Structure 1
């Protein structure tokens, strides 16, 4: 099942987007509704809130006095964190229960769940953020909900800002237009990304992609890689020894193919094989071996360069996952080559020139000569990177 996290600031229109996703067939797990359930009268959650903030936050009817709690936590980050520490774990646990219990008849759209969340989470295959300018949100809260302007601004200020939300977003869904505009955007997201993603998960296959071209460096590549790495780390659990962004997209300022390369370290190839199902469920099914972004040198003992290859099932974010033994030559090579290119502008320029020549060789009558030239360059580059690592005192742990 594809789990989609849906978030957005107060007044951004998250409920509108959630309703449309439910109309298209998603199972909606509303964290806002659950958040009220877990602190209802007589609940353990409400008792914990009373212990934290005093019995005066419980009204005469036994329910939480929301205005009283709001007056305590808005404007007080420490109080807000205490409240979140009580509510959020209970919301997550209840959400997991509802998703696990959801009856997914074959006629519904692929068995997809959409959970409204307070912030981005590695537990979701994709996070969608509903975006709207703060001033427009204020206008909607005042006009549509009758909220006092000062209250609206205080609530917006107490939440994450747009920069933090964009950092959590796999998809930024603009809600600045009409409701019909929003419906069209949600439908396009559903048809072009969510449904194909879910179908790939069900089939255990990687997303199909067309020809990949060299593109200018994207400053958001590291942030995109970080989100994927967090999901991979959660899926790997105790068998994982860390996830690193490697390859060309991990080198700032370097033109590259728009594919993220990630490296998961494990203690043994037995661990790598044992993780296959968990990684597939997290959106990275086993994929066919591909030519490495940075080709690995030939070695007399091929087992020392052994890896397991997975790739993204998400059609909107091409990515390769290389599972390698921690400390192995292949694991070390990927990190050393990345860091050497990061540290050496001349080497970056050489490599980019090499890649641009290769990208223009599609119509060459003898493209193999470019492959051979590339392999020779990397063989020499490996020796240069080793020298640099020795002189710079570079090491990995």
Structure 2
């Protein structure tokens, strides 16, 4: 299956994109919803929180009083780690349960507001960032969620910067216009790139592309960096050295729009060992020692070297 990491700042419009993808058959996993689900009344998660922080974090009806929990748990770093140690494993377990029910040939979209902040981008074959200008986001938060301007700006300032999100974004969806325009962009993305990517992964084949020589693209180094991060995350200790090679490394030079990566895995046996992990992050095997991207939007060759 194709797993997509979906993120963006508060008020950017992620829900519009996730809803569009869901309408096309994707399984959408909302991290914020999971965080609430695992601490509902009667759950082991809520019991563990009460044991850790006391009955004062409960509302009169026995549900979690989130402001009360925040006041206690964020008082110092030790308590914050305790909170995360309880909730994060439960969220991960529930996420795994949901993914296990997904169509093996389908698409799973994980809506993760703090994907960038938590360093999760390399775990996904594709990261989609929904962006909107700060002033647009402030206005939306005030109009649709009842935030004060001060609260809206504080929430935005506490999250990742646009530059940090751009660094991990395979797809940048600008939502500074109308919801209809964002919906159209999401639809085009699905049919032009996401759906073919998922089919290619299910059939364990690289995308069929015919790279042509194009003018120098200043984005090639950043694109290569994202690929390298994925390969390192997928291969772990087997990734002895990963480097961007070939014509797209030369500034100012026209080249085929094809990223070449050399992945040194240490031994001939490791070439087979990393085949499945590479498939999971979007790079099926073409022939022994060569993998290529299943994503039609980013042609890539990954050469495995036993060195």
> Which TM-score tier does this pair reach, normalised by the shorter chain?
0.7 to 0.9
- Give the Cα–Cα distance (whole angstroms) in 2 for the partners of residues 234 and 142 of structure 1: 39
Give the counterpart of 1:115 among 105, 110, 113. 110
Could you say which residue in structure 2 is the equivalent of 1:163? 163
Could you say which residue in structure 2 is the equivalent of 1:322? 303
Question: Does structure 2 retain, via aligned residues, the 8 Å contact 1:11–1:140?
Answer: yes
Relative to structure 1, the CA distance from residue 230 to residue 180 in structure 2 (aligned partners, 3 Å threshold; closer, same or farther) is: same
Could you say which residue in structure 2 is the equivalent of 1:282? 281
Query: Which structure is richer in relative contact order (CA contacts within 8 A, separation 6 or more)?
Result: 2
Relative to structure 1, the CA distance from residue 21 to residue 149 in structure 2 (aligned partners, 3 Å threshold; closer, same or farther) is: same
How far did residue 70 of structure 1 move?
A: 4.8
- Give the Cα–Cα distance (whole angstroms) in 2 for the partners of residues 83 and 222 of structure 1: 38
Structure 2 gaps of 5+ residues are none
- Give the Cα–Cα distance (whole angstroms) in 2 for the partners of residues 111 and 59 of structure 1: 40
How far did residue 52 of structure 1 move?
A: 6.9
Relative to structure 1, the CA distance from residue 65 to residue 202 in structure 2 (aligned partners, 3 Å threshold; closer, same or farther) is: same
Greater helix proportion: 1
Q: Which moved more, 1:82-91 or 1:307-316?
A: 82-91
Spell out, residue by residue over 1:316-348, the C-alpha distance to the aligned partner (whole angstroms, 9 max, x if none). Answer: 11111011012xxxxxxxxxxxxxxxxxxxxxx
Relative to structure 1, the CA distance from residue 23 to residue 264 in structure 2 (aligned partners, 3 Å threshold; closer, same or farther) is: same
- Give the Cα–Cα distance (whole angstroms) in 2 for the partners of residues 93 and 81 of structure 1: 18
SS, match of residue 122 in structure 1:
helix
Could you say which residue in structure 2 is the equivalent of 1:266? 265
- Give the Cα–Cα distance (whole angstroms) in 2 for the partners of residues 96 and 38 of structure 1: 13
Question: Does structure 1 retain, via aligned residues, the 8 Å contact 2:291–2:302?
Answer: yes
Spell out, residue by residue over 1:100-128, the C-alpha distance to the aligned partner (whole angstroms, 9 max, x if none). Answer: 123x39xxxx5211111131432221111
Question: Does structure 1 retain, via aligned residues, the 8 Å contact 2:215–2:253?
Answer: no
Spell out, residue by residue over 1:214-254, the C-alpha distance to the aligned partner (whole angstroms, 9 max, x if none). Answer: 42241x33332232223222332443324332333345555
Asked if 1:308 corresponds to 2:289, the answer is yes
Could you say which residue in structure 2 is the equivalent of 1:100? 100
- Give the Cα–Cα distance (whole angstroms) in 2 for the partners of residues 136 and 147 of structure 1: 13
- Give the Cα–Cα distance (whole angstroms) in 2 for the partners of residues 85 and 167 of structure 1: 28
Could you say which residue in structure 1 is the equivalent of 2:177? 177
How far did residue 3 of structure 1 move?
A: 0.8
How far did residue 53 of structure 1 move?
A: 6.3
- Give the Cα–Cα distance (whole angstroms) in 2 for the partners of residues 233 and 319 of structure 1: 15
SS, match of residue 202 in structure 2:
helix
- Give the Cα–Cα distance (whole angstroms) in 2 for the partners of residues 225 and 130 of structure 1: 21
Question: Does structure 2 retain, via aligned residues, the 8 Å contact 1:74–1:155?
Answer: no
Relative to structure 1, the CA distance from residue 234 to residue 193 in structure 2 (aligned partners, 3 Å threshold; closer, same or farther) is: same
Could you say which residue in structure 2 is the equivalent of 1:388? none
Could you say which residue in structure 1 is the equivalent of 2:196? 196
- Give the Cα–Cα distance (whole angstroms) in 2 for the partners of residues 57 and 271 of structure 1: 50
Q: Given the two structures, how large is their TM-score scaled by the length of structure 1?
A: 0.68
Q: Given the two structures, how large is their TM-score scaled by the length of structure 2?
A: 0.86
- Give the Cα–Cα distance (whole angstroms) in 1 for the partners of residues 76 and 135 of structure 2: 23
- Give the Cα–Cα distance (whole angstroms) in 2 for the partners of residues 233 and 88 of structure 1: 23
Question: Does structure 1 retain, via aligned residues, the 8 Å contact 2:123–2:233?
Answer: yes
Structure 1 gaps of 5+ residues are 289-306, 327-397
Larger Rg: 1
- Give the Cα–Cα distance (whole angstroms) in 2 for the partners of residues 167 and 83 of structure 1: 29
